[in-house]
Structure formats: C-alpha cells, structure tokens
C-alpha cells in the first residue's frame, strides 16, 4: 500500500534532522547524485468506481485487482500509475546507490523481517564476530527512537539512525543521503536494518547486493506463504532463534519448504544469536560476498586503467 498512499511524506529524520528532498547530493568521495524532485504525497484521489473485493465463501480478498491492493475511493488504474511513478523514481536512486557501492567495493545487505525477529541482536553478534577482520558500517531504520543505533554503536562500529516517522520502510533516497553522513570505507560491509515489516520493504530496492530476510521460529512456519513478496525478493533466509525450538512446536522443514515454494533459489541458514548456531555458515556467506564485491571493483578499475592507457596511446600517436 505505501507504494501508492504516500505514507512517509515529510516524516523522515536522519539522526534527528529532517531529510530535505533536494535535487542532488554528494557522496563521501565527492560524487554528486542528481535526484529528481519527488513528493510521494502529491497525488489526487480518483473518485471513480473503485475495485470491488473478490468474494469467497468465508473471506474478502482485496488483492486480486491490477494494483494488488485497495484504497477507498481510488481506482485500480490510478493506484497502478502512482505505484509505477514512486517505484520508478526509487529504482533510479537505487541504481545510483548500487553504482556507488560497486565503485567502492562496498558489500551492502538489506535486513528485512517482522518486528521482534531478532534482527538487531543478530547484527550485534555478527558485528562482534567481524569487526576485527572487516570494515563495517550500519544504517538503522525505525519509525521512532535511536535505540537500535545506540546498541550498534556500543560495539564500536559506526551506525546512523534513520527515523521514518509514519513511513513503514526505508527507500533508496533515504539511504543515498545516509551514505553522505556515514561515509562507509572502501571494500567494507554495510549492514542496513530496515523497518520491521514483511510487506512494504520488499518493493523498495535500496541498491543493496542482497536482501536478507530473517524469520524467527517464534513467528510460525507459514510466514513465507502469507508474505510471499518478501521471501521472493530475498537471496538468503536466516531462520533465527533456533535455540528456542525445544520449547516450540515450530516445524523447521515445513517452514523451509514453504519458503522455497515461494523462492526456489532462496538460501537458508539456521541461526541462533544466543548460542552461535549457524554463525560459521553465515559469516562465510558474508565473507564470500565481500570478496566477490572487491574482485568486481578490482576488475572495473583494471578495465578503467586499460581504457585510459589506450586513450593515452591514441593521443601520443596523433602528436607524431
């Protein structure tokens, strides 16, 4: 729904300061982003015939229309147009972020989950395990407070808090501005903890290398089927809080089967921040991703050097 309702307009704060929607901004290396003005809240409601819910025998389904959602008084065509406009602009910002990450060898991960899945605790343990061998930075997303950023900073790693106000997700525009302030080091790992929400963050690309979805065993194994877009968008699922399994009736194999039914390519690691279960595999996954990002950066730089050498040779030949 937030792809067409403009729920976050004017609410965003980065470290308590209001985020201004300017046309361009500069990254840590001086690279300037050209951001076209965008105002998620500026739209007119179409008061034509609204889409009617599909009626079943015992429920109403409002997700069968072209927009996949429902807003009172707004036509499906209008909803689709607004969503295309918002996501199109977001994707342009995400492409700029991704280009910057690639140029600097930054391996960016977007952590998504329901509230209370254990994201922040998992990040803290991950940071403690990696901070002696890897460069790290964190972006924290919450509607209010800076509690999670403060927990991250207590590990000695730099963290920046984005408060989205009424907004229910981070977007690429917010992250682009956060990068200006955070200034991640070259060939570092950037951990982005999104707002706790299994719906809206799935639609918003931040420029990350991967979305990592965290499913807690306290939530129920049917979450991947109830919220398929999120699990479809993710590359990795961390099945978290596995230390609690002896006290629950959670069916691990069924949860994994449901997740892979939605996304056959989804990689799954069982984790516990309390016991460290699965962390060897998880840390190896991060290390491999960072190495791959660094290798791509090296190849790009080598290609650039080769092109420069070629141009210099052409100029030298013209002078003869």
Q: What percent of the chain has pLDDT above 90?
A: 62
pLDDT at 180: 94
pLDDT at 310: 84
Mean pLDDT along residues 228-246 = 98
Burial (CB < 10 A; 0-12, 13-18, 19+), residue 67, is buried
Q: Which residues contact 179 (CB under 8 A, 6 or more apart)?
A: 27, 28, 97, 100
Q: Which of residues 113 and 23 earns the better pLDDT score?
A: 113
pLDDT at 178: 95
pLDDT at 41: 40
- Among candidate residues 159, 105, 156, 129, the one with its CA nearest the CA of residue 284: 129
DSSP state of 49: P
Other C-beta atoms closer than 10 Å to the C-beta of 120 total 20
Indicate the pTM of the whole model: 0.76
pLDDT at 302: 78
Q: What is the pLDDT of residues 116-149, one digit of tens each?
A: 999 999 999 999 999 999 999 999 999 998 999 9
Exposure string for 100-113, b = 16+ CB within 10 A, e = fewer: bbbbbbbbbbbbbb
Alpha carbon of 320 to those of 94, 311, 314, 316: distances in Å?
46, 15, 10, 7
Alpha carbon of 251 to those of 116, 221, 274: distances in Å?
19, 6, 20
pLDDT at 88: 87
Other C-beta atoms closer than 10 Å to the C-beta of 186 total 13
Q: Which residues contact 2 (CB under 8 A, 6 or more apart)?
A: 8, 167, 168, 169, 200
pLDDT at 64: 56
Query: How big is the chain by its Cα radius of gyration, in Å?
Result: 22
Other C-beta atoms closer than 10 Å to the C-beta of 184 total 25
DSSP state of 68: S
Distance CA 145, CA 151 (A): 12
pLDDT at 46: 43
* Average pLDDT score over the chain: 84
Helix (H, G, I), strand (E, B) or coil at 65: coil
Domain ranges of the chain: 87-293
pLDDT at 241: 98
Q: What percent of the chain has pLDDT above 70?
A: 74
Distance CA 227, CA 199 (A): 7
Q: What is the pLDDT of residues 199-220, one digit of tens each?
A: 999 999 999 999 999 999 999 9
Weakest-pLDDT range from 75-79, 191-195, 278-282? 75-79
* Domain 87-293 grouped into CATH 3.40.50.300: yes
Query: Which token pair is 76?
Result: 């499906």
Confidence of residue 38 (pLDDT cuts 50, 70, 90): very low
């Amino acid at each position: 729904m937030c792809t067409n309702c403009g729920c976050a307009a004017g609410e965003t704060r980065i470290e308590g300061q209001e985020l201004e929607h300017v046309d361009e901004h500069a990254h840590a290396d001086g690279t300037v982003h050209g951001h076209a003005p965008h105002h998620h809240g500026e739209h007119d409601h179409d008061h034509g015939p609204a889409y009617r819910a599909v009626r079943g025998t015992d429920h109403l389904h409002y997700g069968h229309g072209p927009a996949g959602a429902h807003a009172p008084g707004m036509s499906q065509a209008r909803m689709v147009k607004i969503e295309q406009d918002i996501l199109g602009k977001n994707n342009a910002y995400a492409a700029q972020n991704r280009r910057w990450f690639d140029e600097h060898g930054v391996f960016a991960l977007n952590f998504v989950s329901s509230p209370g899945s254990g994201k922040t605790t998992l990040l803290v343990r991950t940071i403690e395990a990696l901070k002696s061998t890897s460069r790290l930075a964190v972006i924290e997303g919450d509607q209010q407070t800076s509690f999670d950023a403060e927990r991250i900073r207590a590990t000695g790693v730099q963290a920046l808090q984005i408060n989205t106000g009424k907004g229910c997700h981070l977007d690429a525009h917010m992250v682009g501005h956060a990068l200006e302030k955070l200034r991640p080091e070259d060939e570092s790992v950037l951990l982005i903890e999104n707002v706790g929400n299994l719906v809206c963050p799935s639609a918003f690309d931040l420029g990350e290398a991967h979305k990592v979805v965290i499913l807690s065993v306290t939530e129920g194994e049917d979450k991947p089927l109830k919220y398929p877009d999120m699990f479809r968008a993710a590359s990795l699922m961390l099945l978290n809080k596995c230390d609690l399994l002896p006290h629950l009736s959670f069916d691990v194999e069924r949860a994994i089967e449901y997740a892979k039914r939605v996304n056959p390519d989804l990689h799954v690691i069982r984790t516990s921040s309390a016991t460290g279960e699965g962390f060897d595999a998880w840390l190896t996954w991060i290390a491999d991703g960072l190495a791959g990002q660094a290798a791509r950066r090296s190849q790009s730089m080598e290609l650039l050097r080769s092109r420069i050498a070629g141009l210099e040779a052409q100029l030298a030949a013209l002078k003869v």
